[in-house]
Amino acid sequence: MRRATILFFCMLLTACYGVVSASEMIQISDTRWQMRPGIYRVLKDGRMGVVDSTNKVLVPFHYDQVYDLDDDNYVKVLKNLKIGLYHLDKGLILPAEYDQIWPFKDGKARILKNRLLGYTDMMGHIIIPCEYSHITAERNGTFRVIRNGQEGLLDHDGNILLPSEYQKIWPFENGYARVLKNGRMGMVDSSGREIVPAIYMQLSPFDGGVARAEVDDNIVWLDTLGRYVDKVEVSPMVPDIKEKAVPAKEAEQRKERPSPAIRIGNDNVVIRKENGVKEITISSASSSFTHKRKKKRRFHGHLDGVHLGFNSYLNADQKEDMPAGYEFMEVIPEKSVEVAVYPVKESFGLIGSCVGLVGAVGIQYNNYRFDFDRGSELTNLPVDWFPPVPETASVSKTKLTVLSLNVPLMLEVQIPESRNPGKSLYLSAGVVGSVRLRSHTKVVFNDESSQKKKNHDDFNLNAFRYSYLARLGYDSIGIYATYSPVSLFEKDKGPELYPYSVGLTFNF
């Protein structure tokens, strides 16, 4: 009986082993986790896979991690810090060579490889290759993409509608989208065809089949085929006027400007000239007449921002030699730094949008670095500026720091750049009033240990000063220089020194 029992168990084990081998099943250990009812993530020999409730292998044990099983049976796999995609029924969809794979939406998933984005479908076919730094799925099924800082447009199958050579592509409105290329605006249709070339300074969306455009300080009107049209509104006095489409070539030859219009009281007066005949139309201001004028641009100065430069001072002879007894005040130029911050400004136009006054309020730090090596050099000075330091100490830093409240007022002239609206070369000059808020000296030395000491005092510095300021720049960066005709110190209470500075400006 004992032999029969042993033989029975041996036959049972052999049968079970044959069934598992034939069905590609595994022996499940305790290292398993349920991903959802009937589906388990399993660790075997240091590798992760997926099996079902019958122990059938659904994802082979080739991966470092398996996670994010979704409702469509897609699961992410991780190998050597790269992500792939598996389907429990279809098998491998994407190999483990991606940095990120997002969930599917409308049958497509965004993917990231080598820090560039693309799209795949649910079968693993690459719709958009990973070539773009940014991709946005639009409501109309297209994809807005950015490559090398330029925008482009792809259709829902990943085909190129607009190459990545635009600075901006606006959303489609009624089948048309405005585009910006080389600082000029144009218009494309939903197929990507450029119906209005990118040559206009300003371009509005189509309204009633007509778009308003600005080119060379002229206002023109365009139809949906990109042709020039005469924009004429129906007036109660002239009910039979119709809009007349004019081919672009003919409009260029005629070089006709928009009809001049003025408003007198509650009436609008329009003067039109066509084929040598002038026509004057008078209509109520409340009628449908809406002559559009070019919007006048305001003057905007370039004073809010940061000044970062080097500062020093000159003696009464406008030289950098220090007066007798104050040789110790000779600064280290490359370590004497000035920082001014102007968070707010106010602009006042004088002549159009190119000449005006600009004022601001801000704070300024001036650091004057001196050159001392030993503490003994600080004990024989004509003024008691610095805190006590042992004569045997090694001195690494000495400086005078002044904090001031500044109020500059500048006259600024701007030269706009025609190719880049809103950017200009500017030159400004004016004065800066300064109120000293606080001042201190600082010593850093080593006497068996590193130490630093400060001495807060007014040091007989002038409480109020003014300086001349000049700035030259383009757009948000420039250079500046200052000079104060008022001595840094009060009269007969310190050396006669006149501060100056030069540096860079960074506008907000």
pLDDT per position in the chain (508 positions), as tens?
555 555 555 555 444 444 333 334 444 445 889 999 999 999 998 999 999 999 999 999 999 999 999 999 999 999 999 999 999 999 999 999 999 999 999 899 999 999 999 999 999 999 999 999 999 888 778 899 999 999 999 998 899 999 999 999 998 888 899 999 999 999 999 888 999 999 999 999 998 889 999 987 788 899 988 888 876 443 333 333 333 344 444 444 443 444 455 555 556 565 655 545 555 656 554 444 344 444 567 888 999 999 999 999 999 999 988 888 888 889 999 999 999 999 999 999 999 889 999 999 999 999 999 988 887 787 777 777 888 888 888 999 999 999 999 999 999 999 988 777 678 899 999 999 999 999 999 999 998 888 999 999 999 999 999 999 999 999 899 999 999 999 999 998 889 999 999 999 999 8
Residues 6+ apart with CB under 8 A from 224: 176, 195, 206, 209
d(CA 177, CA 181): 13
SS in 3 state form for 386-413? CCCCCCCCEEEEEEEEEEEEEEEEEEEE
Q: Which helix (H) or strand (E) holds 18?
A: helix 2-22
Q: Are 135 and 119 in contact (CB under 8 A)?
A: yes
3-state secondary structure of 148: coil
Q: CA separation (Å) from 80 to 109, 164, 441?
A: 22, 33, 57
φ, ψ for residue 18, nearest 5 deg: -65, -40
For residue 149, is it left (φ>0), alpha (ψ between -120 and 50) or beta? Answer: left
Q: Please choose, from the candidates 50, 53, 119, the residue with its C-alpha nearest in 3D space to the C-alpha of residue 78.
A: 50
3-state secondary structure of 75: strand
